[in-house]
Structure 1
Amino acid sequence: MTDMRLTLDQVEELALEALVSAGASRKQAVPVARSTRLAERDGIRSHGLMYIPVYAEHLRCGKVLGDAIPTVSHPRPGAIRVDAAYGFAHAAIDGGWPVFDAAVREQGVAAMAVSRSYNCGVLGHHAERLAEAGLVGLCFTNAPASMAPTGGTKAVIGTNPFALAVPDGSGGARLVIDQSASAIAKSEIILRARKGEAIEPGWALDADGNPTEDAEAALAGSMRPVGGQKGFGLGLTVEIFAAALSGGNLGMEASPFSGPKGGPPGTGQFFIGFDPGAFSGDGFGTAMAQLAEAITDQEGARLPGARRAANRAQTLREGVVVDAALMDRIKTA
């Protein structure tokens, strides 16, 4: 088999077929396939088609329940709770979204907690979804433990990203901040290990707590927090929101997002939406325009999320190249 060039529609259909074939209901599979499309569109390959064989494996071994039906509750005006029932996070998030959106608009601010969940794909896409609706989105998700505290050697929390997106007033996002608490996303180390490539200095520690550039040793050890203690503090903040506050498993309790061992990870997500009109009215848009201009007016500087926007334009022109080995893994997943 040779490498293939796919349109985004074909990427989504390929992902959907593989997920349904592996045992996911269409209600579970459709939002994951859409998430895969968005990841490939933005050039975030580690969360795109590369992940489909992992999803399929987890459907077959029971780490993700393909027939899960999320349940949504609304215990207080500004609080929405979604039990993912060990299905994909994407379906649970979609299930609670209409109630969440309405609550933000009614209250000015509201939060949605998702528990007994799983990897939610690119976190920034959920924040951007809020921004596209004219809202400010702040999102958290925790992950299986892979990062030790500064000075320690035992992993306590995951890479634990957070994302923030603000509206541009025209149905899009002015900027999207999407970053993990680790020096690099764990998916990048997994990708390097698969290719037999070394990782960069400062990314990870081996099982004995020593710096390593060996990807396999890094996967057996722990990720390094970005900025040392400050990065670990950021990851701990995410853990509090996405796990302790949502009712999801702590990273220490969650099974890995890779491999068949363990039951469902049961991790969590936490989303906060703000209607800027409830706080500063038109002043928010004016302030954000000034802030963005102060960045973009500087030569060589760019707004967070600008690279993804550029990737989108390129993908729409050129499509997505899928190498033969990955296509084979997807077809046989």
Structure 2
Amino acid sequence: MQHYPQSDLIALAERACLACGAGADMAQSLARASVSACRAGRQEVGLAHLIDHLHSLREGRIRGAAQPRIDSPAPALMRIDADGGVAQHGFDLAFAELAQRAQDFGLALLVQRNCYPAGELGYFVRRLAESGLIGLAAGNAHALMAVAAGGGKAFSTNPLAFAAPLPADRPPLVIDQASSATAFVNILRAAAAGQNLPEGWAQDVHRRPTTDPTAAITGALLPFGGYKGANIALMVEVLAAGLTGGRWSLDTGHFLTGHEPPGSGMVVLALSPGLCAPDFPGRLSAQLDRLAALGLHVPGQRQARPEAVPVDPKVIDELTRLAGG
């Protein structure tokens, strides 16, 4: 890893998005979300994953000229049709209104369909927590996870993310995890590095357990904790596909192949803690310190300084190439 100024990374990412066919607003949304993931230590779903977005823009899986459509059938509900674009674009367009409605009503729900898979799901709830709100998000993509060892693919990794605000001198609490034993990007990374997978992560195309990442790519991931992980995946599926009116994971297109937008879905719930407990950030901060003293790792606390964001130089080289040199 090398460190780069945040502003330089955002500018490079925007140029690459524009060069690959994104509209100006989409390019800005993707660039900022990708750099935010790198700052949070989520390199695999940061600028490295932006490269997947860029190829998808070129090959038609993301509609670069997408114009998200927003309506509001109830005061505390906002709906977005992403028009084949990216979830970050629609979220950015709705964010200010979503946050205001959460403050006004105590909670507000955003449902989005017809979008590319959401990438770092923690980005959406982290934005809310930085505005003093509690955030909960769920998203789906194409089916690549079996419901149990030996079973067929039924769900995507179906991640769930949660964030809560802390005092201004601390980054928010952010929990972002898949319902699978690992994220699919970790399988791809292991295959590229020629590394074996831990047991229990995946199975091959014949539904046999495997530690070979190449076999896992054409096979299936496995849920964490057996049926417990599968139950969480089902819950996310009901929210991200059922509630949004979007495609079920069995019907969603692959985010790395094909020439049509995959049509994933995402839900984001925003809650105003101050209306329930005015001293919420301070109380939570003190409780997290108590838990940390007992050995708890507090998620979300590791963020790079804006002027020194770590990125793999090979990723920078590829973004520079895709941006046109």
**1:45 CA displacement:** 1.5
Report the counterpart of residue 313 of structure 2 in structure 1.
323
**1:43 CA displacement:** 2.4
Matched, 1:302 2:297: yes
Task: Please list the CA deviations of residues 88-121 of structure 1 after superposition, one character each: whole Å capped at 9, or x if unmatched.
Answer: 1111111111221121111111100011011222
CA contact 1:7–1:320 (8 Å) conserved in 2: no
Task: Please list the CA deviations of residues 260-313 of structure 1 after superposition, one character each: whole Å capped at 9, or x if unmatched.
Answer: x2521110110111111333343x345424431321222x4321223x33xx14
State the distance in 1 between where 2:173 and 2:314 align.
35
The letter for the 1-side match of 2:85 is: G
CA contact 1:127–1:165 (8 Å) conserved in 2: yes
Query: SS in structure 2 opposite 1:156?
Result: strand
Report the counterpart of residue 238 of structure 1 in structure 2.
236
Report the counterpart of residue 277 of structure 1 in structure 2.
274
Q: How does 1:97-176 map to 2 (within 5 A)?
A: 97-170=95-168, 173-176=171-174
Matched, 1:292 2:292: no
Query: SS in structure 2 opposite 1:197?
Result: coil
The letter for the 1-side match of 2:270 is: G
Query: SS in structure 2 opposite 1:320?
Result: strand
Q: Which has the higher contact order (CA 8 A, sep 6+)?
A: 2
CA contact 2:155–2:249 (8 Å) conserved in 1: yes
CA contact 2:4–2:307 (8 Å) conserved in 1: no
Report the counterpart of residue 21 of structure 1 in structure 2.
19
Report the counterpart of residue 199 of structure 2 in structure 1.
201
Mind listing any 5+ residue stretches in structure 1 that lack a counterpart?
A: none
TM-score (norm 1): 0.90
Report the counterpart of residue 262 of structure 2 in structure 1.
265
CA contact 1:88–1:117 (8 Å) conserved in 2: yes
Query: SS in structure 2 opposite 1:301?
Result: coil
State the distance in 2 between where 1:212 and 1:330 align.
36
- The Cα RMSD (Å) is 2.1
The letter for the 2-side match of 1:292 is: L
State the distance in 1 between where 2:47 and 2:177 align.
21
Mind listing any 5+ residue stretches in structure 2 that lack a counterpart?
A: none
Report the counterpart of residue 67 of structure 2 in structure 1.
69
Shift in alpha-carbon separation, 1:174–1:49, aligned structure 2, 3 A: closer
Identical-residue share of aligned pairs (%): 32
State the distance in 2 between where 1:81 and 1:222 align.
32
Shift in alpha-carbon separation, 1:301–1:171, aligned structure 2, 3 A: closer
Task: Please list the CA deviations of residues 231-268 of structure 1 after superposition, one character each: whole Å capped at 9, or x if unmatched.
Answer: 11111111111111012211111111223x25211101
